[in-house]
Amino acid sequence: MTTNDPKDIEKILVSLSPKSVPPGLKGRVLESALKKRQGLLMTPRTWAAAAACAALMAIAVLGDTAVTKVQNNDLRAFLNGTSVSRLTGEEPGPLSEEVCEEIGDVEKAGLERIILTRPGTRSASLRDIFEARKRLKGWLDHEDESTESPD
């Protein structure tokens, strides 16, 4: 036999036959693996259920965040008259003008006080306040006639 060629050595090695597998090995191996799988806390099915739950929770959290953001914007707009127009797209008239038709004179005085004392309104636009007072002139019993617009 020629052994100078590595192919010959390879051929001899390939000719060696491995020992046979013991009978029943497959059954024993698969049985133990399946037993182990049954004992697992997280089976593939529970993993899928957990993933679905996680996705639903993520959707709920994101949805809640979005709704809260919108609500916060609305609330901010309600408390700060300047941003109402940005949210609603229409130019708001003075508050007193909008509600004057529905409330009595006593309430009008209270309303004016509220409008004048609202910090957001005061800081946002003093011009609007004087505009409101001008429009309410004659309606208010305690109106000081000497009050003048800064213009």
* List of residues contacting other proteins (CB under 8 A): 1, 3-4, 6, 9-10, 12-22, 25-26, 28-30, 32-34, 36-37, 40, 44, 47
Which residues neighbour 58 within 8 Å (Cβ) at sequence distance 6 or greater?
A: none
User: The tokens of 17 are what?
Assistant: 């036959």
Q: Distance (Å, rounded) from C-alpha 124 to C-alpha 82?
A: 7
51 or 57: CB nearest other proteins: 51
Q: How far is the CB of 45 from other proteins (least distance, A)?
A: 10
* Residue-by-residue DSSP string for 63-119: HHHHHHHHHHHHHHHHHSGGGHHHHHSSPPPPHHHHHGGGS-HHHHHHHHHHHHH-H
Q: How far is the CB of 17 from other proteins (least distance, A)?
A: 5
53 or 87: CB nearest other proteins: 53
Residue 91: helix, strand or coil by DSSP? coil
Q: How far is the CB of 55 from other proteins (least distance, A)?
A: 16
Q: How far is the CB of 51 from other proteins (least distance, A)?
A: 10
User: The tokens of 87 are what?
Assistant: 């949210």
19 or 86: CB nearest other proteins: 19
54 or 66: CB nearest other proteins: 54
Asked if 142 and 109 count as a contact pair (C-beta separation under 8 A), the reply is yes
Q: Distance (Å, rounded) from C-alpha 148 to C-alpha 151?
A: 8
16 or 106: CB nearest other proteins: 16
